[in-house]
Structure 1
Amino acid sequence: MDRKNVPLVYSCSGCSSAAQTANTIAIKMDRDNVAEMSCIAGVGGDVKPLVKTAKSGRDIIAIDGCPLACCKHILARHDIEAKHHFVLTNFDVPKRQHEDPDPQLTLRTYNQILELTL
């Protein structure tokens, strides 16, 4: 499979359970060859090869854990808008500090996002 034919996926990866759910979903999308995960921290840090990838014209899926929408805002700094932007609290994913993501909730949300992007 040519990975350049799948969208890029960027996710929040902060400290809350919602942020880690976003990161887990993006990793699963990458491992399932649904999307190619790239590094939102590198885009935010203006790392040239990662900004170039983000600006390559490929469809982008951005997954944020909460309404702060850090991932969306990082992309916007480079005039990039995701084709699909998801905020996991809108999927009833709770934002809890010092807690790991719920695996069943993560899988349910992953499947919901797949339905909305395919």
Structure 2
Amino acid sequence: MKRTDLPLVYSCSGCSSAAQTANMIAIKMDRGKVAEMSCIAGVGGDVKPLVRTAKSGRDIIAIDGCPLSCCKSCLARHEVQPKHYFVLSEFDVPKIIGEDPSPDLYKNAYTQILKLIGQ
């Protein structure tokens, strides 16, 4: 399977533990060839090649750390709707500024998300 056959995954990657958990999940999906990770900052910043990728018609998995929904909002700027959308606070991942992600919460959220997307 080519990488371009995989869904795209976008994640929040802000400064909180929840945001970094979202980023870790997206990286693990990319490295495990579950999805191809792309850059949400580039989509939000109107970087043409990254916007083209987001608008390519591929299935999209979007993961936000908290209800501020930055990842989802960046996609919406370009009228892109994710097929799967997750907010980690719904998986009991707390948003804590200045703290690293919890390995146990990360593993739990990752496992649940894989089940929800049918992996």
Report matched runs for 1:28-107 at 5 Å. 28-107=28-107
Deviations 1:46-70 (A, max 9, x none): 0000000000000000000000000
TM-score normalised by L of structure 2: 0.98
| Structure 1 segments of 4+ aligned residues over 4 angstroms from their partners | none
How far off its partner does 1:4 sit? 1.3
Pairs aligned (count)? 118
In 1, Cα distance between equivalents of 2:2 and 2:78: 26
Query: CA RMSD of the aligned region, Å?
Result: 0.5
Identity %: 74
TM-score scaled by length of structure 1 = 0.98
For structure 2, the residue ranges without an aligned partner over 5 or more in a row are none
1:17-50 Cα offsets, whole Å, 9 max, x none, are 0000000000000000000000000001100000
